[in-house]
Structure 1
Amino acid sequence: MTNVNKENWIEINAQGRTLGRLATEISVYLLGKNKPTYSPDKLSNNFVIITNASEIHVTGSKLDNKEIYSHSGFIGGLKRETLGNAIKSNPSKVLRKSVKGMLPKNKLSEKLIHRLKIYAGAKHPHSSQLSNRSSNDN
């Protein structure tokens, strides 16, 4: 058994992909469910790079009707923003929040979400990690 602990870097192009379907695919890779050595209590060695996050697709009228909520922790600190405005201002935040909602709510979730790298454009600084090139351009 060689290269059991080797890091796998997976690049996914988000151009034209649906938000929820992409988030489920990312969560499967982060959890390591695509490997035969999957164990729910262990971290997988998968890192996921998302490019073109600003060109993500949402079905129906969710761009105008769906609202994203956040709270500052102070009284009256509820902030609401439509999904369309959130994607325009910070597309990585929207994708990260949807992936985080699909991860298990335990101690590993923060460690898993740090293995997700999201970029709005096509360029990213992780080209040296992709030398073994395990890419997924759907």
Structure 2
Amino acid sequence: MFGFFFIFKRLSSSPMDHLSFKTVSVNKANANKGWVVVDAADATLGRLASQIANMLRGKHKPSFTPNSDCGDNVIVINADNLRVTGKKMTDKIYITHSGYPGGQKRINLRDKKAKDSTRVIEHAVRGMLQGNKLGAEQFRNLYVYAGVAHPHEAQQPKAVSFTNL
């Protein structure tokens, strides 16, 4: 009985036999990298940063390869108008250390945003990328500007709005 089934299965040709589905691994040479503009006006910090990190990694593309830089170049404008929920403006603390005894510095979100609002988005996105050379390479594809103007008009970036924010 088993031999008959095997012969029958072998003789019948299904439409899947002649098709060849090959997995394409994207590398630097064949990565289709584009330019994208994201408006951060009235967007929540964490939700915006996670969407930007996904675009930088390339997870929105069907040809996503986890071990290569296949994401888009992301331009973020209006970083001054970014918002956070709750009491994060006063309670969220960024801690840095110089490496020397007593070299710990603390700054809250309000002061960091007043000093340089682009660093807030960069810090959030950097924390959502991988902590290796690939993550550093993907982070270099992020450009954050405080206002509306940016110097990347020659690349003809597409405007993207995240509807679920």
TM-score (structure 2 length as normaliser): 0.77
| Deviation readout 1:48-104 (Å, 9 max, x if unpaired) | 000000110000000011111111222211110011111111111111111011112
Higher relative contact order (CA 8 A, sep 6+): 1
Q: Kindly provide the amino acid, as one letter, of the partner of residue 134 in structure 1.
A: K
Indicate whether 1:136 and 2:165 are aligned: no
**Unpaired runs of at least 5, structure 1:** none
Q: Distance in 1 between matches of 2:89 and 2:105?
A: 17
**Unpaired runs of at least 5, structure 2:** 1-29
Q: Considering fraction of residues, name the structure with more strand.
A: 1
How far is 1:117 from its partner?
A: 0.2
1:1-138 mapped onto 2 (5 Å cutoff): 4-130=30-156, 133-138=157-162
Q: Which runs of 4+ in 1 moved over 2 A?
A: 4-7
Q: Distance in 1 between matches of 2:71 and 2:128?
A: 18
Q: Distance in 1 between matches of 2:71 and 2:56?
A: 8
How many percent identity over aligned positions?
A: 36
Q: Kindly provide the amino acid, as one letter, of the partner of residue 32 in structure 1.
A: G
Q: How many residues align?
A: 133
**Cα 1:15–1:116 shift into 2, 3 Å:** same
User: Superposition RMSD on alpha carbons, in Å?
Assistant: 1.2
Higher radius of gyration, 1 or 2 = 2
